Every structure is written in C-alpha cells, then in structure tokens.
Amino acid sequence: MAEKLEQARVIQRGEVLRHIFNREFIISVIIPIIILAVSSRYNMTLPGTILAGSWALAAGTVKLARERRVNVYAMIVAGFSVIGLIGTIISSNPTFYLASPIILDVVLAVIFFGSLLFGRPLIQIFAEYEMKDAFPQALRAHPKYASAWTILTAGWGILSISQALLRVVLLLSTPAALYYTVSSLYGNITTPLFLVFTLWFPRWYWRDL
C-alpha cells in the first residue's frame, strides 16, 4: 500500500498520463495484450493465454523484487494470477486465467464492504498506518473524519464491483483477446486514477475543519 500511495502522490503532481502510460505499463500490460491478440488471430488462444499470463506474472514479480518491500495488493494479484494459470494449464481452458481478475474483484469488494460493517473502513486503516502523523487528534474526533474514510472505502468497493461486472459481460460476449485487452486497460487505468481521488478527497472534504 505504501507503494500505491507514493504512486498516487507522483500522479497528483500533474503527471497523470505520463505516470500511467510508462515503460512499466508497456511491459506488464501492453505486451501481454499483444501476445494474446496475435495468438488468437492464429487460433492459438490457449497457448497465447498461458504465455501472456506468464509474461505479466514475470513482469510483476520482477517489479516486486526491485522494490524490496512488501506490497500486499500486488502479492494478492500475483497469487490469483498463479492460480488462474495453473487452472488453465491443467484444464487446457483459458477461462480459468481470464476469469481470475473477476474473482479478485469480488473478493476485494467483499473485503471493502465487510470492513464497513465489521470494523473501521479499510482505507482508514491503510491511511493511518502509512500517514499516522498526518491526522491531528482534533481532526480524528470530528464526525467528518470517519465519514470521509467510509465514503472512500465504499467507493473502492463500488469500483471493484464495476470492474467485476464489466469483465463478466465481456467474458461472456466477446472473444478472449478483446476481453483481455479491455479488462487489462480498464483495471490498470481506473485504479491509479481512483488512488489520486483517494488522496485528494479527504483534503477537500475536510477543507472547512
């Protein structure tokens, strides 16, 4: 989460497009899309899916190794990707890998909304852990302090659900290559943009406090 917050701070400094569409984006998102698109064109969807998934997983693993820090979100994504790849290889069915982001979205939505029902909002937990000295006691005591985190946590839950629904519709109605293209681009663009909103919103929401 620390890496995600730092990523959002960089984007906030007016470098949105340059930060999203960078070399890392090309390596980890665009190249797998091209691999699957070319493979599907030659009726090799299964090997293309395995190769694209393996490439994306390898790119993510290298990135994690370079960071030398624990990135829980990236590790969860990698875990679901590994499970999807194994399922695809064993069953010779690309759907296992292609559907893994849908399952991840549903799990994340349950976690976000569950935190609203059974404890503190998840975004509040992350924010207080990463920026514990940024919130004075007077602010913490105000009702709008907790409500800001509730709104943001609900927003992340809604984003996860919207991604899951879009992916389900695409998976059931479009070719694998088109599904993978839209799914990858949508997820890798909306997530950093909502991270920017997550950092901006509390300051705006608390502007009169």
The domain ranges of the chain are 2-205
Residue range 61-81, pLDDT digits in tens: 888 777 766 566 777 888 888
Q: Which two tokens stand for residue 61?
A: 């693993």
Instruction: For the chain, give the mean pLDDT.
Output: 86
Residue range 78-110, pLDDT digits in tens: 888 899 999 999 999 999 999 999 999 999 999
Q: What is the Cα–Cα distance from 22 to 59, expressed in whole angstroms?
A: 14
38-47, 89-98, 128-137: least confident range: 128-137
160 pLDDT band, cuts 50/70/90, is very high
Cβ-in-10-Å burial (0-12, 13-18, 19+) of 38 comes to: middle
Own/partner pairs for 110-114, CB < 8 Å, 24+ apart? Answer: 112/153, 112/154, 112/156, 112/157, 112/160, 113/153, 113/154, 113/157
**Maximum CA pair distance of the chain?**
63
Residue range 5-30, pLDDT digits in tens: 445 554 444 565 566 667 888 888 89
4 pLDDT band, cuts 50/70/90, is very low
On the question of pLDDT at 3 being above 50, the answer is no
Cβ-in-10-Å burial (0-12, 13-18, 19+) of 138 comes to: exposed
Which pTM value belongs to this model?
0.82
Higher pLDDT, 62 or 159: 159
Instruction: Please work out, in degrees rounded to the nearest 5, the angle formed at the alpha carbon of residue 144 by the alpha carbons of 140 and 148.
Output: 95
Backbone phi, psi, residue 174, to 5°: -130, 160
Residues of the chain above pLDDT 90, percent: 56
Backbone phi, psi, residue 70, to 5°: -80, 120
